[in-house]
């Protein structure tokens, strides 16, 4: 019964008639635009919705999608993947992480490769599983390699709280949580150096709704105010996406530049204040975090506060962790794709040397990566305008 109710709920936001109705509204409004509008969907979840449901085919040619860097696995630089690999190979260590992180290749190989060499590498659906693993292995160090945007950061914070309150001595953390607004600023600044063509410019953002559930929509206020870019916080179903796009176009026609929430059924302006307090209790900003393909982005990463240094795997194992930066394969254009400067099919090795079974770049490895989306839904025809 519950499965049927859930299916019916999703059906409402995937209804073909509703999607087509929005497509008609957008087409009529787009005729009134004075120039093309380039909309960046920051999150990989939006990219997959856009591709899976063929939304570019439903939209007029003057509405363009720019795929952003919103996949925490895709943006993980190789040197931090190498950290995970090296930690997993240490004696009496169990390396624990989430999902796709297992398959991402670093300079020494992936965590999957490390496991094949005898390392104890495990993936979990919830960070709290680390406590059970630690209790079952009291003579080993359990290192949680934490990844994700604001969405998953509270789960790591809860684990940190439990570890400290219960005085669990054999759990450490390697923190790789990043925040969205700072990289949005970086993307605007890096693209606006050439204004001879509007196709090089981000005109508006579809804001990721799951991030905003935690942080609130308030984190995007600066973009309409300081950068003159509208932001519409949008859900991940196709009806949500089409409504969000329609709301952006309405702003341009009405000469408005505002922060709006399409996903009002879940997102508020202030967000989850309890989760925010928990994050601020245990984490603080890093001065720089290097995003794969993008570079160092100020204040975009989190780290454990200094008072919890004894739980920080980067500090405990600092003597064995590599510090040099590692670049991607020369033929891989994941950097340009993550910046929204190129589409996956513009890569010369897309679908040949680089595919899900033999990925070269992170955008193909991750299930939320743009290359994975293009490969999976490649039977559809899309615009190549960036």
CATH T-level topology, domain 78-178+270-316: Rossmann fold (3.40.50)
pLDDT tens-digit readout, 278-336: 999 999 999 999 998 888 999 999 999 999 999 999 999 999 998 888 888 889 998 88
pLDDT tens-digit readout, 111-158: 999 999 999 999 999 999 999 999 999 999 999 999 999 999 999 999
Written as one string, the DSSP assignment of 11-45 is HHTS-HHHHHHHHHHHHHHHTT-SS-EEEEEEEHH
pLDDT tens-digit readout, 161-208: 999 999 999 999 999 999 999 999 999 987 654 444 444 589 999 999
d(CA 20, CA 54): 12
Structure tokens at 25: 């509204």
Structure tokens at 378: 């490649």
pLDDT tens-digit readout, 9-26: 678 899 999 999 999 999
pTM of the predicted model as reported, rounded to 2 decimal places: 0.90
Same fold: 2-71+180-261 with 78-178+270-316: yes
d(CA 367, CA 297): 24
Detail the DSSP E strand segments found in the chain: 37-43, 63-70, 93-98, 120-124, 141-148, 171-177, 204-208, 231-234, 259-261, 283-285, 288-291, 295-298, 302-304
pLDDT at position 4 is 52
Mark residue 143 as left, alpha or beta (left: phi above 0; alpha: psi -120 to 50; beta: remaining): beta
Domain boundaries along the sequence of the chain: 2-71+180-261, 78-178+270-316, 334-376
Q: Is the pLDDT of residue 238 over 60?
A: yes
- In CATH, the number for domain 2-71+180-261 is 3.40.50.11750
In the beta sheet, which residues pair with residue 37? 63
pLDDT tens-digit readout, 39-81: 999 999 999 999 999 999 999 999 999 998 888 888 999 999 9
d(CA 231, CA 247): 10
Which of 343, 351, 348 lies closest to 384 in space, CA to CA? 343
């Amino acid at each position: 019964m519950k499965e049927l109710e859930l299916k019916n709920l999703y059906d409402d936001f995937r209804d073909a008639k509703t999607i087509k109705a929005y497509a008609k509204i957008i087409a009529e409004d787009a005729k009134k635009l004075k120039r093309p509008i380039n909309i960046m969907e920051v999150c990989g979840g939006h990219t997959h919705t856009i591709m899976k449901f063929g939304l570019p085919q439903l939209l007029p040619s003057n509405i363009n999608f720019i795929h952003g860097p919103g996949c925490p696995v895709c943006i993980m630089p190789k040197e931090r993947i190498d950290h995970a690999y090296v930690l997993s190979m240490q004696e009496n260590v169990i390396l624990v992480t989430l999902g796709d992180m297992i398959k991402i290749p670093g300079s020494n190989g992936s965590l999957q490769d490390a496991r094949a060499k005898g390392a104890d590498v495990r993936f979990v659906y919830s960070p709290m599983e680390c406590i059970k693993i630690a209790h079952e292995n009291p003579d080993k160090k359990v290192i949680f390699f934490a990844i994700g945007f604001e969405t998953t950061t509270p789960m790591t914070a809860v684990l940190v709280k439990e570890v400290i309150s219960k005085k669990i001595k054999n759990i450490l953390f390697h923190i790789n949580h990043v925040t969205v607004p700072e990289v949005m600023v970086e993307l605007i600044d890096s693209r606006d150096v050439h204004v001879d063509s509007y196709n090089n410019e981000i005109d508006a953002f579809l804001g990721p709704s799951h991030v905003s559930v935690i942080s609130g929509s308030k984190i995007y206020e600066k973009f309409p105010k300081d950068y003159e870019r509208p932001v519409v916080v949008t859900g991940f179903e196709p009806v949500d996406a089409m409504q969000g796009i329609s709301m952006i176009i309405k702003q341009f026609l009405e000469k408005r530049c505002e922060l709006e929430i399409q996903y009002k059924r879940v997102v508020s302006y202030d967000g989850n204040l309890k989760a925010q307090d928990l994050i601020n209790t245990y984490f603080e900003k890093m001065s720089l975090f290097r995003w794969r393909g993008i570079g160092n982005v100020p204040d975009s990463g989190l780290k454990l506060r200094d008072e919890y240094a004894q739980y920080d795997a980067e500090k405990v194992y600092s003597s064995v962790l590599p510090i040099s930066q590692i670049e991607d394969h020369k033929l891989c254009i994941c950097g340009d794709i993550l910046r929204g400067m190129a589409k996956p099919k513009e890569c010369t090795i897309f679908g040949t040397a680089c595919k899900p079974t033999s990925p070269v770049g992170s955008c193909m490895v991750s299930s939320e990566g743009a290359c994975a989306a293009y490969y999976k839904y490649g039977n559809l025809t899309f615009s190549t305008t960036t």
